Amino acid sequence: MPKRVSPTERIRAEIDELFGSGRDIAEVLGEVMRLSARLVLQEVLEDEVTTWLGRDWNSRAEGERAGRRNGCSDLTIKSTGGPVGLARPKLRNTTEVFASALLGKGVVRSEPLEALVISGWVRGLSDRDIEALLAEALGPEAALSKSTASRICQRLRDQFEAFRTRDLSDVELDYLFLDG
């Protein structure tokens, strides 16, 4: 494969290689599904950059914005299906900062994974127990650290405190039923 190939084309080549490997389709299917999810995310990410710059990958023509692609940096997103490795495009000589709508600035985990952390915390698990549970269920590469679990749970605590102390003076209630 040539050196200057887009990350999307590399993923497609991996999928083609799996199908051409001669292995049983049942063995290959799980890997193909993971690669397909990675391919979709990578394509969306590259399309965002293409749209933002106003020109295709490896194109020297001037687009809507000044700047050019300058390689990629590795990015791993932790998800319930395991880690998903992406190549985040780097940009150079731009007048504005590019922020992906898909990934934002610091996305490193999926929302379902955060939901698992919150669910464990609500059920009374400690931050360390949550870390151990995720490592056991999803494998060590998809597990979150206890400090990350703690930050997610602290955000939930802050939201609950705001909910608990909100002003209800403008809410008109006809009946109030309390059940203990």
Contacts of 174 (CB under 8 A, 6+ apart): none
Which residue shows structure tokens 């200057």?
A: 4
Q: Are residues 83 and 116 in the same domain?
A: no
Which pLDDT tens digits describe the chain residue by residue (180 residues)?
A: 556 778 888 888 888 888 888 888 877 887 887 788 788 888 888 888 888 888 777 666 666 677 778 788 888 777 666 777 888 888 888 888 777 766 655 555 566 677 777 777 778 888 778 777 777 766 666 566 667 777 777 887 888 889 889 888 888 878 778 887
Nearest to 77 by CA among 8, 118, 138: 138
> Is 146 within the bounds of a domain?
yes
Reduce the DSSP state of residue 46 to 3 states and report it. Answer: helix
The tally of domains found in the chain comes to 2
* pLDDT at 177 (0 to 100): 80
DSSP code at position 146: H
> Is 176 within the bounds of a domain?
no
What CA–CA distance (Å, rounded) separates 87 from 14? 15
Q: Are residues 121 and 61 in the same domain?
A: no
Note down the domain range covering 155. 111-164
What CA–CA distance (Å, rounded) separates 47 from 99? 13
What CA–CA distance (Å, rounded) separates 2 from 4? 6
* pLDDT at 150 (0 to 100): 77
> Is 179 within the bounds of a domain?
no
pTM above 0.85, yes or no: no
Residue 113 dihedral angles phi and psi, to the nearest 5°: -70, -40
Count how many residues are written for the chain: 180
> Is 11 within the bounds of a domain?
yes
* pLDDT at 63 (0 to 100): 63
Under 8 Å between Cβ of 98 and 52: yes
* pLDDT at 108 (0 to 100): 53
> Is 152 within the bounds of a domain?
yes
Long-range contacts formed by 117-121: CB under 8 A, 24+ apart: 117/144, 117/149, 117/152, 117/153, 118/152, 118/153, 118/156, 121/149, 121/152, 121/153, 121/156
Q: Are residues 71 and 116 in the same domain?
A: no
> Is 49 within the bounds of a domain?
yes
